[in-house]
Amino acid sequence: MAKPRLSHYDAAGRARMVDVSVKDVTKRTATARAFVRLSRKVLKALPENPKGDPLEVARVAGILAAKRTHDLIPMCHPLQLTHVDVGMEVGKLGIEIRSSVTTSGQTGVEMEALTAASVAALTIYDMTKALDKGIVIEFIRLETKSGGKSGEWRRSEEKEMTK
């Protein structure tokens, strides 16, 4: 059985952008999550942040980041995104970030969803670091993807990683 090759390398081992021109245009979706672990002090201070509402700024930053993923990740294709959503839920231990991205195209949007969640988490860190430098960003992960030749994929892990 032939050893599988990574698609971002040519036969000589050089990095390359994958040619997606022969792929079918299909609806592609992906969802991702990240968790920002915050101290009680930071969580309590969120509504009074002098820089503004960290969650709203992080939501906008995540949306903008999804749209610019191809500028950040070298082999990503520029995509015409049709929808990006970034939501957050404040819990006892921190903030759970959820992103979802949709397009109709020839390649998936997993990287865009992961970038949205990651940049939203980084923005929360930036806006709250004055209160605590020990903030931890963790559990950045793809949750679902659909569309294209490989079809549906869903993380099989059922337990909440942030509880």
Domain positions in the chain = 31-147
Q: Residues with Cβ < 8 Å from 98, sequence gap 6 or more?
A: 31, 32, 33, 86, 87, 88, 89, 117, 143
Asked if the 31-147 domain carries CATH number 3.90.420.10, the reply is no
Q: Is 126 a catalytic residue?
A: yes
Check 10, 71, 126, 132 and give the catalytic one. Answer: 126
Q: What is the pLDDT along the chain (163 residues), one digit of tens a residue?
A: 555 666 777 777 778 778 788 888 999 999 999 999 999 999 999 988 877 899 999 999 999 999 999 999 999 999 999 999 999 999 999 999 999 999 999 999 999 999 999 999 999 999 999 999 999 999 999 999 999 888 999 998 655 554 4
Beta carbons of 100 and 109 less than 8 angstroms apart? no
